[in-house]
């Protein structure tokens, strides 16, 4: 049976919320991971030694946890003990030198431009409030690369001016500006016009003053995918974000610009899309390199 969250973990979670603006889902994930370690230690996780941390990570592998889960929980422990160190609760970080489990390399999943176009056309043809939400959601996600949490948090007055940009508050409270296409803006205006006057959010929930839930939006995307003859399992808000990034790079965008648009704090995160750059460079080589078409240099060159 899970143990109660100890005082140090609670203080750490409060810091994440207050100083880094961590979302509720993020806080819940940290709480679950740290509580699991607390159970393993038998209490007082803040006093754990390096060998206990190593044994814990080893136990995760032994019980069949994926490398991704192991890495995430070790990362949570590193952040927790770093907080303990900075606050003077202990003099070291026992998780700092524990080797991170090697993650399998995987490329982000994304749709083709033709598939995205089919989804946009299908959503635009859907009737009623569901159609307005589907059209606006798909257009904005694909035009901006927003996270679904950022999309659903958009206030009803987000498009109250003629500006072609959105001010987004992303992870850690970091703000960024993203441009909005004319089609996406019109879809959003259509949604706002068809939404109750007292709605607080652009994507309003069933109850007054609430936003549409992730689950509700995911169900809406599933309906659009089925109508567009696309496997619903291949479509999610994050797949649309990956599609936005991949298509932007394929059409000439650079990684630094994409990093700003996606709201990544570290360009290393954006570099998961370098497979698209590699494909583009290969096509450039095939199209422009003098030897690509079997042409040989003259011996006098």
Catalytic residue list = 147, 171, 238, 241, 264, 273
The beta-carbon contacts of 229-232 under 8 Å, at least 24 apart in sequence, are 229/118, 230/111, 230/115, 230/118, 230/119
d(CA 208, CA 189): 19
Region of residue 126 (left: phi > 0; alpha: psi -120 to 50; beta: else): beta
Q: Residue 48: what are its φ and ψ, rounded to 5°?
A: -65, 145
Separation CA 159–CA 189 (nearest Å): 7
CB 55 within 8 A of CB 206: no
CA dist., res. 279 & res. 188, Å (int): 34
CA distance 203 to 212: 6
Question: Distance between CA atoms of 149 and 143, rounded to whole angstroms?
Answer: 16
């Amino acid at each position: 049976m899970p143990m109660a969250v100890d005082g140090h973990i609670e203080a750490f979670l409060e810091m994440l919320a207050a100083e880094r603006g961590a979302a509720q889902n993020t806080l819940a994930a940290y709480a679950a991971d740290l509580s699991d370690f607390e159970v393993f230690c038998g209490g007082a996780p803040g006093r754990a030694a390096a060998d206990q941390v190593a044994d814990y990570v080893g136990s995760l592998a032994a019980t069949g946890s994926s490398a991704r889960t192991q890495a995430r929980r070790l990362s949570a422990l590193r952040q927790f003990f770093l907080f303990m160190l900075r606050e003077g609760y202990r003099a070291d970080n026992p998780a700092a030198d524990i080797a991170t489990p090697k993650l399998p390399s995987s490329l982000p999943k994304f749709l083709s431009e033709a598939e995205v176009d089919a989804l946009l056309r299908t959503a635009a043809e859907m009737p009623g409030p569901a159609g307005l939400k589907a059209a606006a959601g798909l257009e904005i996600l694909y035009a901006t690369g927003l996270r679904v949490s950022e999309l659903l948090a958009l206030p009803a007055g987000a498009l109250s001016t003629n500006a072609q940009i959105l001010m987004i508050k992303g992870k850690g409270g970091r703000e960024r500006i993203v441009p909005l296409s004319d089609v996406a803006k019109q879809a959003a205006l259509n949604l706002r016009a068809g939404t109750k006057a007292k709605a607080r959010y652009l994507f309003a929930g069933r109850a007054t003053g609430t936003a549409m839930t992730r689950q509700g939006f995911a169900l809406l995307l599933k309906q659009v995918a089925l109508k567009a003859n696309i496997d619903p399992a291949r479509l999610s808000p994050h797949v649309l974000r990956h599609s936005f990034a991949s298509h932007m790079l394929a059409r000439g965008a650079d990684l630094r610009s994409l990093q700003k648009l996606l709201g990544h704090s570290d360009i290393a995160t954006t570099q998961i899309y370098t497979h698209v750059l590699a494909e583009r460079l290969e096509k450039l080589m095939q199209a422009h390199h003098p030897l690509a078409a079997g042409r040989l240099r003259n011996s006098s060159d």
